[in-house]
Amino acid sequence: MAVPARSKRSRDKVRAYRERMRSRGLRPIQLWVLGVQSPAFAAEAHRQSLAVANGPHSRDDQDYIDAVSVSAWDGECGAATSGPSRVAKTMPGSPGPW
């Protein structure tokens, strides 16, 4: 039984979308990130925050974070945010996020 032209199947919509994106020179990627509710994430975030807070440029670092962070109280966004949308995550023993 043929599917009506106006009611495309999900996989056909996805295929068409991917073809459009590829024709624009884009390619799909997949990223796996550590879940923010993981104990390992909390421990690593704490370790990094201590390293920054105790570093020689802690005042400048905090001034920068304050300057780029958006708070729900600032009235600049519709929902609460947790800061910049792009977060560099470094795992213990890795050379760094760059």
Average pLDDT over residues 49-72: 89
Cβ proximity of 27 and 83 under 8 Å: no
Average pLDDT over residues 68-85: 59
Q: Poorest-confidence range of 17-26, 31-40, 71-80? A: 71-80
Question: Exposed, middle or buried, 13 (CB in 10 Å: 0-12/13-18/19+)?
Answer: exposed
State how far the Cα of 20 lies from the Cα of 26, in Å rounded to an integer: 9
> Quick check: 29 pLDDT over 90?
yes
pLDDT at residue 85, as a whole number:
42
